[in-house]
Amino acid sequence: MLKTSLTIMLAALCGAALAAPAPAAVAPAKQQLVQQVLQLWQIDTIGQAMLQAPVGDAVQQARAMLQGRAAPERRDAALADVLGEAKKFMDEATPTVRASAQKLIPGTVAPLLAERFSEDELRQMVAILESPVKRKFEAMLPEMQKLLGERVAADTRADIDPKLQGLKERIGLRLRAAVAP
């Protein structure tokens, strides 16, 4: 026991890593199914989605900051510049994060799929991802989201709009106070 503890301490002090057990070898047929699932799933787009959130937030903050602080023509021009910068950023950064995801997927996501799903389950997943019904459903998502969004907005407008206006006013007051000389 003491010898084992000393070995572990020496390994830690020397910077040597204790190797984790190697993942079990994956049968070629199963590995092919994992690759098919990854291709159909298009998980490499996750990086782009991760970029879109903060970029969208930055654009929204710029829009809010410009609202009421600039003349409409200057506001619109500045917002167009902000949108242009955001698009340029996305165009430049997307290939980097996509390449990173493609590099990391084989060592992260692929082993999890191989470990936690049987070949039969992976076949079912491929069938689901290739399903024409799934594609039809996904094609309808923007329409359904728009329709629901419009209806929710109409249904809650009387309650939400005054609160939203109040929020904008409170934020505007805080921003004006923060930038006042």
Q: What is the pLDDT of residue 23?
A: 56
Residues 6 or more apart in contact with residue 134 via CB below 8 angstroms: 128
Which residue type occupies 1?
Answer: M
Are 37 and 113 within 8 A, CB to CB? yes
Q: Helices 72-116 and 46-66 sit at what angle, rounded to 10 degrees?
A: 160
Sign of the four-CA dihedral 157, 158, 161, 163 = negative
Are 38 and 110 within 8 A, CB to CB? yes
Helix count (H) and strand count (E) of the chain? 6, 0
Q: What is the pLDDT of residue 64?
A: 84
Instruction: Please tell me the pTM assigned to this model.
Output: 0.58
User: How many CB atoms sit inside 10 A of residue 180's CB?
Assistant: 6
Give the chain's radius of gyration (CA, Å).
26
Print pLDDT tens along the chain (181 aa): 433 333 343 344 334 333 344 456 889 999 999 999 998 888 778 878 888 889 888 889 888 888 877 888 888 888 899 999 999 999 999 898 888 888 988 899 999 999 999 999 999 999 999 999 999 998 998 899 889 888 988 899 898 888 888 887 887 777 777 766 7
- Residue that is written with structure tokens 């301490």 in the block: 9
